[in-house]
Structure 1
């Protein structure tokens, strides 16, 4: 199974879409974003700035300006969990949205585990991915839609919840390899799926690859964009390929040269549905599947 076409485009945000009803919030106000009081400034500042951008990309006006007299208020916090073995921390990002009257109208949390101890202060690129997802979820709340686990209720295939082992991504410039895996982990969890940390508890494997080729030229003759192609292969534990997803689009070259942030989330969000479609279709007999070599895992 191969799904081809344009990538989702929240990363193509080029200014407010004034026809979007989300820009006309109650009483003409926007969303004032603030950090929970206990959040350290070295985390609060970057996280709130990322939240404002994530909301803007979802066409929701937001500001960290505390002088906003009317409108909604979004409060963000982080709860950190550590294990006794001294491994990477697990961060639970907690968001609460209050209406203009101060009453809570929505709340959700996002959980993600870092790569190394201390990652939350040393590797804050993850805030861009967290904020992109939060922006979409806030937009859903404002539309009156269910969000997160309330909407997903656990993805199942033939009555069994699949558990995906994300092998990795290769070929991406900047921090794309790591950001894509992080974003996909978040997307799968939000959709009600499971991500396994070990092969022993996995039912399927997912691996990605990125190819960047020449793009469209700019005024000076130099290409200002690149053709980005992201492919995802889904296999069984035996290495037999069940399906593949291919996404491609022109993106500004500066967007993939460093931090991917919201772009990684946009790509992963588009891939998530395709992955579950592959898992569902894998229940049907298929011929001619070729085994895909799985990289050896460290002991």
Structure 2
């Protein structure tokens, strides 16, 4: 009997496993994939550069291209002048032997440079002419580098904050399971409460003070008189109510197998899903991120509200 399990973070990451009754959901959740960069600022302003060896049209185009490349990396950047409280991207260049090398620095709201990345060397003639393809190439090269830098800056901030999830267990409110036939709601909830804690994060009985909320939803569909399709979706929400991620388990099983008692099936389902849920929480806690190799000073700043699934 085949099983397809998937973990959803910023997108659907397909996984697969196999098993036979009475363990139709047995398998391994696998790696959930890298966590997308979460920058510390509420907005990253990309002002039109004035020291980048570009005329006004080319400078404006570069700022626009950079903001688009950063948005593609899930970084909320805007090609606008920096306002009070904004983080910003400063662009400078170095010319040598007919080539231009752009350098991109991330500045805190106080104007402190928190990190710099070097771009791809490009033809000085094409750069200074404001060639659209050249500027687009520079922006697409810089986007992933800057996203990685911003992730490191956030990691440094979290590492220095004793109250951040990098330095303490996450508190999880588990609201239970719904939709399961038979004793599934009770059995799955009981086994998840046993499987999820791993000596680190903790489950609590109230929403108050919780960092994440977990809920399980079971949908059983009778495909025909011999086959049922079961889908179990575990949804993890942040304290803000925004979705942090999902772990979904799907399987076709003999009809009416789970009408009454789930038994060992609940144990295997919870054990498998718990690994994926822990990965969602880890990915949304910043624990997988590393500060940049060069130490940076830390300034308290608001976290960004991101569309991470």
Common fold: TM-score over 0.5: no
Length-normalised TM-score, structure 1 = 0.42
Q: Which has the higher contact order (CA 8 A, sep 6+)?
A: 2
Structure with the bigger percentage of helix: 1
Length-normalised TM-score, structure 2 = 0.41
